[in-house]
Structures are given as structure tokens and as C-alpha cells.
Amino acid sequence: MLEEREADAAPGESARSQVWRMPDTLLIMFVLALIAWAATFVFTPGQFQVAGDPARIVPGSYQPAGAVMPAPIIGGEERAGFLDFLFAGLVTGDRYSPTVGLMAFIIVLGGVFGMIMRTRAIDAALEASLPGGKARSETLIVLLFASFSLGGAIFGLSEEAIALTLILAPALCRAGYDSITALLVCLCASQLGFATSWMNPFSVVIAQSIADLAPMSGMWPRVALWTVFTALGAAFTWRYARAVRLGMRPGIGMLNEGAEQDQVGKFGAPHLLILLTLLAGVAWVAWGVTARGYYLPEIAAQFFAVGIATAVIARLGRIEGGSPSEMMSAFRDGAAQLLPAAIIVGAAKGIMLVLGGDDPASPSLLNALLAGLANVTAMVPDWLTAWSMYVAQSVFNFAVSSGSGQASITMPIMAPLADLSGVTRQTAVLAFQLGDGLTNLVVPTSATLMGCLAAARVPYGTWLAFFWKPMLALMVLASIAMMLAHGGGF
């Protein structure tokens, strides 16, 4: 579900520490806050003129404030200080804001999907669909790839791929495939869906909310992009899996057929009802956003209804772990797993407040930064502006691989920068999506990547040696998509 969960999963810990141990995301946020506070003693803030409805920055209207405006140690009513930046960020806004409202939205959805995963309906469905003996075709591989990609696109399937790899890798090896096949199906498919999503509540919806765009706006071009990436990824996986099964190429990371597996139980009618409820809930959310203009509070309420229905089905269907108390425990655990993501959103807002806020019409160092970046992008050819945003987001993902964290840090800058650079905000959001999602397939700071590699028993170096060519192809496709989006005014 969420790549923004903290990387505390045991399978990926040892592998990640052997390769590269990055500082915790919250530590990075603290350092950024310290840098932002120090910058207020050195640089002069500025402001823009705005016009239109909704208000947009008028190009060329930047004016410096005329004097340095240092931020205090402890802020007051008008401005946050260094020591209270986190508190100020956590309490800023209302239920519809991209801070308080967004944090509450993240926590509620984390709890709901914690309940769904506790029922193990998805795990049981996968176990039931896997072949017991040698495979005769790759049809199931393609179907699983499409399903995992759809999961990444709809509800942000990401860290769950670690647990699913533990289930899928041994079964696929018994069917004549290898661990790389399992990684392509679980890891690659989910990240492709995550990167090209039209409704992922933990990626595109967050970025659109910060950019003052309606949730799920620009849906159909993103659906088309998802279809292209998923089809090409499924075709590559089909070709590779077939070559391994027929002995045309050696398998990589083959698991012992007797490897221990976590028993998930038999797939039954209650599991099917839970999956159908989830699909119906997704359709309900899509209808609410497009037909009724639902926003964060309403979407959270819809998913909460899905959680209630899941708990009722789990109880009546006598699913193991489906008692009311256990479902409430699952909700609490799921929400707790996403609490760091919510804190990151608040911390990012607090950093903006230390800089003077994100109001373009008020003096702020953020406005001075935007003016400087606008001058840099003015030197880049117009057709390369959107592509340069994609490259910047890809590079930034090495430091902050959390989707919600990256959106919270970069979109307050990228959205107004898009206005100044002649790029639409929708295209700026697309640059964030592709830069964040695709690089998670190779960056060693990605908890999902390192956890899946450990679950499949594939060393990081082995994965890079295999995947560097497909990764280059994905980057070329993403670059083409960015230039087409910019050229077409998306």
C-alpha cells in the first residue's frame, strides 16, 4: 500500500544496512528545518503579484522585501520559529487543508488498509490462483502483473509487495520460474502502477491537493499512461518468465522448493466478499470525486465505510483474526504505520512556515527561491522545462523515497515554479509521480525495494545487473511522456 511507511520490516533491514544506510526521513526533515532557519539570517525574502481565480503568480512580478527577516527561535502568532516548526506545521489548516486534513486522511486510510490486510484476503486470493505444479503458460504471470500494477495505481500497493513476495517467490519457483520473475510481478508491477496512478491517495492525490488541483483531475491521460507502462512491463515479464521456464536462460535467485511459507489459509467466500467490497469502494470514491466533487474528508469517510464493511464480513465469515477487537487492533496498527508519513507532511509545512510561509503575495524566502529557480529554468529550452522537473524529482528521491514526504517537500516549490516556467501544474504533478515512483526500483534507500530483494533472496548488486537496461528504458519512456504532456498542455 504505502511506500511512505518506515522501513522497519525485518526482511529488508539487513540487506539495506549492508548496501547503504540513509538517515531517517524525519532526521532529514530536521536538518532541512535547521538549514531553513539559518537561511533566514542570510537571505532577503520577497513576494510576487498574483492574479486570477484561482490566484496564480504573475511572471516577472517578483520584488525583494528590502531587508533580511530572521525567524525567531520560538515563533509567535505571525511566524513559526525553529523550535516550534513541527508543532506549527501539525496544527496549520483545517479539515480541507493539505496539512491537517491531509494528515488525518493518511491516518484513516492507513487504518482501513490495515484491516483489509489483516483479513489476508489478498494473500489468500494469490495463493489460490498459483499453480501447484509446473506451469504450462505465462498467462497467470501476466494477470498477476496487471493486478499488482492496478493495486499500485488504485490504493498505493507498495510495502505490501514485500509480504506478497514472500508468498509468491517460492510458489513461482516451484512452478518453474525464478526469484526475478517474482520481483518483476510484485515489485516492478506495483511501482509502475504507483508511478502512473490516476487516484493513488498517497501519491497523486497528495500532490494534487498541495498544487491546488482537484483530486483525480487529469485522470484519462494518466489511465492511458498506466496502460502503456503496464502493457510494456507485462510483455517484458512474460518474455523473461517464458525464457526461464523453457530453460532458454538460467534462473536467478532460485529458492528451494521446500522453503518455508507463511500459511495464509484457504481462499473462501468471505475473502471474495472483502475484495469485492474494496473494488466497490474504489468505484464509489471515483464516482464521488468526479460526480460530487468529494475531497479529503468525504474520501476518508468512504474508505472508512469500506473498513466497517470489511470488519463485518470478517466477523460473520469467521476469518481468522476477524473478531471486532482484532479488527480494531489492525486499524490501530495500520494507522500507526502511517503516522510517520503524517508527521512528515506536518514537518514539511512547518519548514515552509519558518521560511515565511507559502503565500506568494507575502514576503517569504520560498518566494526568493522560486524566483531564482525561475531564472534558471528560463535558460533551459522551453521543451526541456518539464523534463528537467522530472529529472529533479528523480534525483531528490534518492534522499527522500517517501512518496508523501517528497510531495510535501517538493510540490510547494514545483507547483508555483510551474506557473513561472510555462508548465501546467498537472504536468508538474506528473513529473513528481514519475520521478518518485520509477526510481524506487533502483535506489537503495527504498524500503520496498530492499525488502522485496531480501524476501526473494536476490542481492542488490544482482538486481542492478539485471534491471539496469529495463530501468533505462523506463526513464526514456518517462522522458517522452513528460515532453508529450508539456507539448500537449496537459
Report if residue 64 sits inside a domain: no
Kind and range of the H or E element at 343?
helix 324-354
Q: What pLDDT does residue 419 have?
A: 83
In this prediction the pTM is 0.68
Instruction: With respect to residue 246, please indicate whether it lies within any of the assigned structural domains.
Output: yes
Decide if 19 is inside a domain.
yes
Residue 4 lies in a domain: no
Q: pLDDT at position 22, please?
A: 55
Phi, psi of 164 (to 5 degrees): -70, -30
The Cα–Cα gap between 394 and 392 comes to 5
CA distance 228 to 314: 37
Amino acid at 255: L
Tell me, what amino acid is at 343? I
Give the cell for residue 356.
515565511
CA dist list (Å): 81 to 36, 87, 345: 10, 10, 17
Does 139 reside within a domain? yes
Q: Is the peptide bond before 54 cis (omega within 30 degrees of 0)?
A: yes
Q: Which residues make beta-bridge pairs with 47?
A: 63
Number of domains in the chain: 1
- The reply to whether 61 falls in a domain is no
Three state DSSP letters for 346-381: HHHHHHHHHCCCCCCCCCEHHHHHHHHHHHHHHCCC
Taking the CA atoms of 409, 410, 414 and 417 in sequence, report the sign of the dihedral they define.
positive
Q: Are 266 and 120 in contact (CB under 8 A)?
A: no
Residue spans of beta strands (DSSP E) within 327-452: none
d(Cα 77, Cα 155) in Å, to the nearest integer?
A: 38
Give residue 221's pLDDT. Answer: 93
Q: State how far the Cα of 435 lies from the Cα of 415, in Å rounded to an integer.
A: 15
DSSP state of 291: H
pLDDT of residue 12: 44
Position 38, amino acid: A
Q: How far apart are the C-alpha atoms of 191 and 148, rounded to whole Å? A: 9
> Which neighbouring-strand residues pair with 63?
47
In a domain, 278, yes or no: yes
Query: What residue numbers bound the domain in which 412 lies?
Result: 10-46+71-487
Q: What is the mean pLDDT of each run of 10 residues along the chain (490 residues)?
A: 40 44 72 89 86 68 84 81 88 78 82 86 73 67 91 78 75 83 93 91 84 87 95 95 87 57 71 90 79 81 92 90 90 86 81 82 82 75 83 74 70 82 90 90 76 80 89 95 91
Going from the C-alpha of 288 to that of each of 207, 291, 335, 438, the distances in angstroms are 19, 5, 24, 29
Residue 288 in any domain: the answer is yes
Tell me which DSSP letter residue 80 carries.
Answer: -
What is the Cα–Cα distance from 239 to 232, expressed in whole angstroms?
Answer: 11
